[in-house]
Amino acid sequence: MKVLVKTDILGRNENAAAENAALFARRGIYALNLLGSPGAGKTTLLERTLTALSGELRMAVVEGDLFTVKDAARIERCGAPVVQINTSGGCHLDASMVAAALAQLDLTALDLIVIENVGNLVCPAEFALGEDAKAVVLSIAEGDDKPLKYPLIFKESAVAVLNKCDLLPHTDFDMAAARRDIEALHPGIAVLPVSSRTEEGLAAWYAWLRAAAAKKRDVR
Amino acid sequence: MKVLVKTDILGRNENAAAENAALFARRGIYALNLLGSPGAGKTTLLERTLTALSGELRMAVVEGDLFTVKDAARIERCGAPVVQINTSGGCHLDASMVAAALAQLDLTALDLIVIENVGNLVCPAEFALGEDAKAVVLSIAEGDDKPLKYPLIFKESAVAVLNKCDLLPHTDFDMAAARRDIEALHPGIAVLPVSSRTEEGLAAWYAWLRAAAAKKRDVR
């Protein structure tokens, strides 16, 4: 019974996700579903990205959060169009929530939409939003055992950003072990150690985004 | 429709939780539901606790995890009885999973059972397990904005352990703001800044647990 209900919810979500994907394809917009635990640093990474790439990519953000508009306010200060989705306690975004948010954005002149999901390393990985790719942000303060403990999100993501690398000297995080585990879960995934605080490593992240958006634009 | 299904699932969970609570009451065992994000430091806090209090409290652990037995292996090395629950990707423990785990423990000579929930700051707060209290562990590396962003878990918890305080000098975490927000969400909650790494502040956590277990024993 429980399984049937879950299958039904996921089935309806897949349909809505396909409609979002078709909309992104028509517009030539690259859509990224940004995932990670609470406090992994998703919003700070986005702030850096919007500032650094504002001259070359036209970007908008959809912000998922349980109740607050704190993150949307931070994004707005970067000058990017942003729509807040509040899930009222719900643990993930679904494709119909994103569809409603997209209706509030001007999609005629965009290269990249980043959808920041609810802070949660489990549930959001199960719900497609129509995105071109998922990106998972893991704070190195969370520990190097997390990829094997939360494998689905790493299997689903095209890129893993290992954030807060400025804290490496103050933790026991084993970067080689983390990289090995992530690449074993998902051969071909891009593993990018960065610090949004010191900006170390961010150039590789920007290059990844730039290439992804350019590829989508060329298809258009 | 979705709401009815959810109500039904929660209703059945409440019944199983009441049975667990009755079992804990009969045995005079204090049961703690330990919650927090991935990498908040729940397991390390437990390792410290089992070692420090082994001479005075008889303790057992129920370990929740999606797939691995990594945490249970760590607990076993501390010499405490432990039962692993794997949720096969499920984002929280429910009361019937805990009931099945309790059936594998010798409950005749225990003062304290700690149930370490799946790493998730959202879903586990909605599912009672029959526990006497919930304790939330927040790593200061997650940021001081998290209590207001994930309010339910702080409203539900009797104690908030602010872990990894050894990282305070390397972050922007505002301890006064975090404490103010947590106490506004839940007046009377115990807020305990600690570092499992340096053992700073752990004495207050041990005292909280000792008092809680003693109160339950006296009722028996």
DSSP string, B59-101: EEEEEEESS--HHHHHHHHTT--EEEEE-TT-SS--HHHHHHH
Contact A149 B2 (CB under 8 A): no
Between B216 and A200, the higher pLDDT residue: A200
Contact B146 A39 (CB under 8 A): yes
pLDDT for position A2 = 47
Q: Scanning every residue of chain B, which has its alpha carbon at the shortest distance from the alpha carbon of A67?
A: B149
CA–CA dist A102, A106 (Å, integer): 8
Contact A38 B150 (CB under 8 A): yes
Contact A68 B39 (CB under 8 A): no
Out of B68, B146, B151, closest to residue A38 by CB: B146
Asked whether residue A7 carries a pLDDT value surpassing 70, the answer given is: no
> In sequence order, which ranges of A54-94 are alpha helices (DSSP H)?
70-76
Residue pair A34/A116 in contact (Cβ under 8 Å)? The answer is yes
- Span A90-97, average pLDDT: 96
CA–CA dist B72, B83 (Å, integer): 7
CA–CA dist B164, A171 (Å, integer): 10
pLDDT for position B206 = 98
- Span A153-180, average pLDDT: 98
Out of B67, B149, B164, closest to residue A68 by CB: B149
Using alpha carbons only, give the angle A145, A151, A152 rounded to the nearest 5 degrees. Answer: 155
Residues sharing a CB contact under 8 Å with residue A11, sequence separation 6 or more, in sequence order: none
Out of A67, A122, A143, closest to residue B91 by CB: A122
Instruction: Output the six-digit token pair for B206.
Output: 């041990």
pLDDT in tens, B15-37: 999 999 999 999 999 999 999 99
pLDDT for position A219 = 65
Residue pair A31/A131 in contact (Cβ under 8 Å)? The answer is yes
Out of B9, B65, B120, closest to residue A120 by CB: B120
Residues in A closer than 8 angstroms to B147, CB to CB, are none
Residue pair A131/A16 in contact (Cβ under 8 Å)? The answer is no
Of B7, B19, B11, the C-alpha closest to B131 is: B19
User: How many Å from the N-terminal Cα to the C-terminal Cα in chain B?
Assistant: 43
Q: pLDDT band at B5, cuts 50/70/90?
A: low
pLDDT in tens, B89-147: 999 999 999 999 999 999 998 999 999 999 999 999 999 999 999 999 999 999 999 99
ipTM of the complex as predicted:
0.92
For residue A211, CA distances in Å to A189, A206, B69, B217 come to 15, 9, 39, 63
* Unique residue bearing structure tokens 């990829």: A147
Question: What are the residues of chain B with a beta carbon less than 8 Å away from any beta carbon of chain A?
Answer: 2, 5, 9, 37-39, 65-68, 70, 89, 91, 118-123, 126, 139, 141-143, 145-146, 148-152, 164, 166-167, 170-171
Residue pair B138/B181 in contact (Cβ under 8 Å)? The answer is no
Residues in A closer than 8 angstroms to B2, CB to CB, are 9
Q: Is A155 helix (H, G, I), strand (E, B) or coil?
A: helix
Asked whether residue B58 carries a pLDDT value surpassing 70, the answer given is: yes
pLDDT in tens, B60-91: 999 999 999 999 999 999 999 999 999 999 99
DSSP for residue A120: B
The 10 Å Cβ neighbour count of residue B143 is 23
Count chain A–chain B contacts defined by CB atoms under 8 A: 111
Which amino acid, B173? F
pLDDT for position A218 = 75
pLDDT for position A11 = 85
Smallest CA–CA distance, residue A143 to chain B, in Å, is 6
Residues in A closer than 8 angstroms to B166, CB to CB, are 170
Which of A3, A12, A142 to mutate to probe the B interface, most B CBs <10 Å? A142
Residues sharing a CB contact under 8 Å with residue B73, sequence separation 6 or more, in sequence order: none
Out of B66, B145, B167, closest to residue A150 by CB: B66
Q: Which CATH class is domain A2-219?
A: alpha beta
pLDDT in tens, A110-151: 999 999 999 999 999 999 999 999 999 999 999 999 999 999
Residue pair A59/A111 in contact (Cβ under 8 Å)? The answer is yes
From the number of C-beta atoms within 10 Å of its C-beta (0-12, 13-18, 19+), residue A2 rates as exposed
pLDDT for position A192 = 98
Stretch (H or E) spanning A135: strand A133-139
Mean pLDDT, all residues of chain A: 95
pLDDT for position B11 = 84
pLDDT for position A10 = 80
Q: Scanning every residue of chain A, which has its alpha carbon at the shortest distance from the alpha carbon of B170?
A: A167
Smallest CA–CA distance, residue B200 to chain A, in Å, is 16
pLDDT for position A1 = 40
Residue pair A13/A95 in contact (Cβ under 8 Å)? The answer is yes
Residues in A closer than 8 angstroms to B119, CB to CB, are 37, 121-122, 149-150
pLDDT in tens, A30-58: 999 999 999 999 999 999 999 999 999 99
Smallest CA–CA distance, residue B28 to chain A, in Å, is 33
Which of B170, B172, B196, B197 to mutate to probe the A interface, most A CBs <10 Å? B170
Residues in A closer than 8 angstroms to B143, CB to CB, are 39
pLDDT for position B220 = 56
pLDDT for position B4 = 58
